[in-house]
Amino acid sequence: MSRLALWLGLAVAATAPAWVWNPYHLHTLIMAGIFAVLALSLNLLLGYTGQLSLGHAAFFGIGAYATGLLTVKLEWSAWIGLLAAIVLPGVAGYVIGRLALKLRGAYFVLLTISFAGCVSLVSVNWMDLTNGPLGLPGVPPLEIALLGLPALSLRSKTAFYYVVLVAVALSYLVCVALIRSRVGRALVALRENETLAASVGIDGTHYLVLAAVVSAAMAGFGGGLYAHYTRFVSPEVFLFTYTVTMVIMVVAGGKGTLAGPIVGAVLFTVLPEALRAATSWQWQMLLYGILLVGVLFFMPEGIVPALRGLGPAARRRWSPS
């Protein structure tokens, strides 16, 4: 059942540019993909270790600035920039994880918020490096240059759509590989009962740092993609709205599930755009809020666990008993 859903989703996603002819709709799907990477990243911390990072936009922003600065100021290759967009936020994640040594729950939330606040202030005020609020225009597009062939630019929406699709698939596979192993069980053990985890030999700090590094690196990857897609980086990437959106996607989609963040990302990127087309902006936000509350009210565990529950319920209903 879930395998069928996976292949169906993949088939729809892989053929999307063929039947989504409106470039604005394709843009929405690209943003949904970037948010899917971000939501998958947040889910590693929030869904599995149970720690809420309310500063996740910081890792997204550091990723965007890492590649933005390297490619615009130093004119490095966009691919090396993208690599730096993974590595640097990963390092930042390590620092946060170490600082969080014994901070859990509300204290962890505060630590991550403060961190995001600091990074955001740096991006606005360190004019020499970041151009401050003016931002960094002219981030180059990604290009594929095979030996001897002319460089193939991935500047078109269709091409970039596939770049993002591959990025989502990679991020998803990283999550699957981690979660379906001893490492994933250690992360879940932190969420379920950290004291018991320690008593059977699970080093809580080690695994929290590890989750923070992978999560931050993945969020940075999303930031790098965003920079090369919009070709512009500004302090706007640190907006709290990004973090809140990620949290909504993870919680509504189903935290602690592998598919939940992707479902949440697609739904909550497409929904505002659909509402924008359907109604005026006041109604748009109101309906968005009502729908969100509705989802959480009727599916408190999130969409994916609720759908999964439908399978057995339907079988029960139709089985003669």
Q: Which is nearer to other proteins, 201 or 320 (CB)?
A: 201
Task: Give the closest residue to 176 by CA, choosing from 97, 262, 251.
Answer: 262
Q: Which tokens go with 194?
A: 């950290």
Shortest reach from residue 178's CB to other proteins, in Å: 5
230: CB partners within 8 A, 6+ apart: 139
Q: Which is nearer to other proteins, 195 or 280 (CB)?
A: 195
Shortest reach from residue 255's CB to other proteins, in Å: 12
* Residues lying near other proteins in the complex (CB under 8 A): 174, 177-178, 180-186, 188-189, 191-193, 195-204, 210, 214
CA 262 to chain centre: 9
Give the helix/strand (H/E) hosting 35.
Answer: helix 23-43
Q: Which is nearer to other proteins, 181 or 279 (CB)?
A: 181
Shortest reach from residue 189's CB to other proteins, in Å: 5
Surface-to-core class of residue 260, CB atoms within 10 Å of its CB (0-12 exposed, 13-18 middle, 19+ buried): buried
Task: Give the closest residue to 249 by CA, choosing from 228, 270, 235.
Answer: 270
Q: Which is nearer to other proteins, 14 or 173 (CB)?
A: 173
CA 171 to chain centre: 9
Contact by Cβ (8 Å): 67, 198: no
Contact by Cβ (8 Å): 295, 305: no
Q: Tokens 């993909």 belong to which residue?
A: 33
Give the helix/strand (H/E) hosting 78.
Answer: helix 78-99
Query: 143 — phi, psi (to 5°)?
Result: -135, 145
Q: Which tokens go with 261?
A: 């963040």
Q: Which is nearer to other proteins, 144 or 173 (CB)?
A: 173
CA 33 to chain centre: 9
Shortest reach from residue 38's CB to other proteins, in Å: 20
Shortest reach from residue 132's CB to other proteins, in Å: 37
Return d(Cα 229, Cα 137) in angstroms, integer: 12
Return d(Cα 144, Cα 253) in angstroms, integer: 34
Q: Which is nearer to other proteins, 154 or 186 (CB)?
A: 186
Q: Which is nearer to other proteins, 97 or 235 (CB)?
A: 97
191: CB partners within 8 A, 6+ apart: 48, 49, 50, 256
Shortest reach from residue 199's CB to other proteins, in Å: 5
Q: Which is nearer to other proteins, 178 or 265 (CB)?
A: 178
Shortest reach from residue 119's CB to other proteins, in Å: 25
Return d(Cα 264, Cα 239) in angstroms, integer: 20
Shortest reach from residue 87's CB to other proteins, in Å: 15
Shortest reach from residue 299's CB to other proteins, in Å: 17
Q: Which is nearer to other proteins, 173 or 290 (CB)?
A: 173
